[in-house]
Structure 1
Amino acid sequence: MSEVMRERFLRFGSVAELVGLSRTTIYRMEQQGQFPKRVKLGSNSVAWKMSEVLTWMSAK
């Protein structure tokens, strides 16, 4: 199984709960390059790669 197929994706609610930040803070930090970028899953759907969020958390 490829690495991409094993990646887990987190929707906003899970990301916010995990990192303890508001929507505005997460989006602002993402735009400033201080938080992992969202991945577009569909026309109206985005998520974050779990591995990137966990790496970001461990670096803090």
Structure 2
Amino acid sequence: MSNHPVVSNPDEITPQYITHAGIEKLIGITVSKQSLWRWETSGYFPRRVLLGANKSVWRLSEVMQWLSDREAERNHRATPANRFSVEG
């Protein structure tokens, strides 16, 4: 007997990891692997998980949180109080 759960409908499984191509599809723009690497090393984007010498993926939950953070930043900048404030 296996310790793995039985899945009756594979469409109900939420992927835990996402590939470079999946990231591009998710965010709707083309982003180079070099840009993702720069974003990662600067702390702007989640770190990848290396599955092998030539295969890396990202945790879907971390990428979704990154997108949520970008939306929150946009919403914060777009509020009238913030748009017209002068700091100095």
Which structure has the higher relative contact order (CA within 8 Å, separation 6+)? Answer: 1
2:18, 2:58 → 1: CA distance? 5
Corresponding residue pairs, total: 56
Q: Which one of the candidate residues 47, 56, 60 is aligned to 2:66? A: 56
User: CA-to-partner distance for each residue in 1:19-39, whole Å, 9 max, x for gaps?
Assistant: 225113222111111000000
2:17, 2:24 → 1: CA distance? 13
Aligned pairs (5 A) from 1:1-60? 8-19=16-27, 20-23=29-32, 24-60=34-70
Letter in 2 for 1:44: N
Q: Which has the higher Rg, Structure 1 or Structure 2?
A: 2
| C-alpha RMSD over aligned residues | 2.0
Of all paired residues, the percent bearing the same amino acid is 30
Where do 4+ consecutive residues of structure 1 move more than 3 Å? none
Give TM-score scaled by structure 2 length. 0.55
Give TM-score scaled by structure 1 length. 0.76
The answer to whether the 8 A contact 1:40-1:46 is kept is: yes
